[in-house]
Amino acid sequence: MKRKLISAIGVAGMVVSIAACGNDGGSGGTDNGADAKELTVWLTVDAQNNWPELVKAADAAVQKKHPGIRINHEYYGWPDKNAKLDAVLATDKAPDVVEMGNTEMLGYMVKGAFAPLDPADFENSDAWLDGLKASVTYEGKTYGVPYYAGGRVANWRKDVAASAGIKTPPKTYQELTAALDKIQKKEGDKFSAWYQPTRDWYAAMSFVYDAGGSIAKEEGGRWKADLSSPESLKGLKEFKKVVDRYMHGDKTKDESDRYLVYGQGKSAMIFGAAWEGATAEDPENDKTGKLKGNLENFVMPGPSGKNMPVFLGGSDLAVPVKSDAQAVAAEWIDAFTGASGQKGLMAKGNLPNNKTDLATLKNDPKTAVPATAAESSWFVPTAPGWGQVEKAQVLQTMLQAIGTGKKSVEAAAKEADAAIDKVINTE
pLDDT for residue 2: 30
Cα 9 from Cα 96, distance rounded (Å): 18
Q: What is the pLDDT of residues 23-80, one digit of tens each?
A: 343 334 444 777 899 999 999 999 999 999 999 999 999 999 999 999 999 999 988 8
At residue 66, what are phi and psi to the nearest 5 degrees?
Answer: -125, 75
Q: Which residues of 107-130 are buried (b: 16+ CB within 10 A; e: fewer)?
A: bbbbbbbbbbbbbebbbbbeebbe
Cα 45 from Cα 151, distance rounded (Å): 18
First vs last C-alpha separation in the chain: 14
pLDDT for residue 256: 93
pLDDT for residue 347: 86
pLDDT for residue 375: 82
Strand 70-76, strand 38-44: pairing: parallel
What's the mean per-residue pLDDT of the chain? Answer: 90
Q: What is the pLDDT of residues 284-304, one digit of tens each?
A: 999 999 999 999 999 999 999
pLDDT for residue 362: 85
Task: Map residue 379 onto helix, strand or coil.
Answer: coil
pLDDT for residue 367: 81
Contact 334/63 with Cβ under 8 angstroms?
A: no
**Model confidence at 212: pLDDT above 90:** yes
Q: What is the pLDDT of residues 125-149, one digit of tens each?
A: 999 988 788 889 887 899 999 999 9
Within 8 A by CB and 6+ apart from 284, the residues are none
**Model confidence at 9: pLDDT above 70:** no
Secondary element (H or E) of residue 243: helix 230-246
